[in-house]
Amino acid sequence: MGVLRFIRKTTKYLLITAGVAALATKGSQYLPSLKGALTSEDPQGYEVEYMEPREVETSHLERFLPADRLGRPGQILYRKSYVVSYNRETRCPNWAFWELTREHADGDVKRPDYAFHEDMEVKAPRADAADYRGCGYDRGHMCPAGDNKWDREAMYETFLMTNICPQNQQLNSGLWNQIEQQCRYWAKKHGRLYVACGPLFLKGDHHTIGPNRVMVPDAFFKVVLCLEGTPKGIAFICRNTEGDRPRDYYVNTIRDVERVTGYTFFPNLTDAAMQRVKEEADLGMW
Distance CA 146, CA 109 (A): 9
| Preceding amide of 125 cis, omega within 30 | yes
Q: Give yes or no for a contact between 101 and 66, defined as CB atoms under 8 angstroms apart.
A: no
- How many other CB atoms are found less than 10 A from the CB of residue 180? 21
Q: Give yes or no for a contact between 128 and 209, defined as CB atoms under 8 angstroms apart.
A: no
The residues annotated with a catalytic role in the active site are: 141
Distance CA 8, CA 254 (A): 14
Distance CA 13, CA 47 (A): 38
Q: Is the dihedral of CA 219, 223, 28, 25 positive or negative?
A: negative
Phi, psi of 61, rounded to the nearest 5 degrees: -85, -5
Pairing of the two strands 138-141 and 164-167: antiparallel
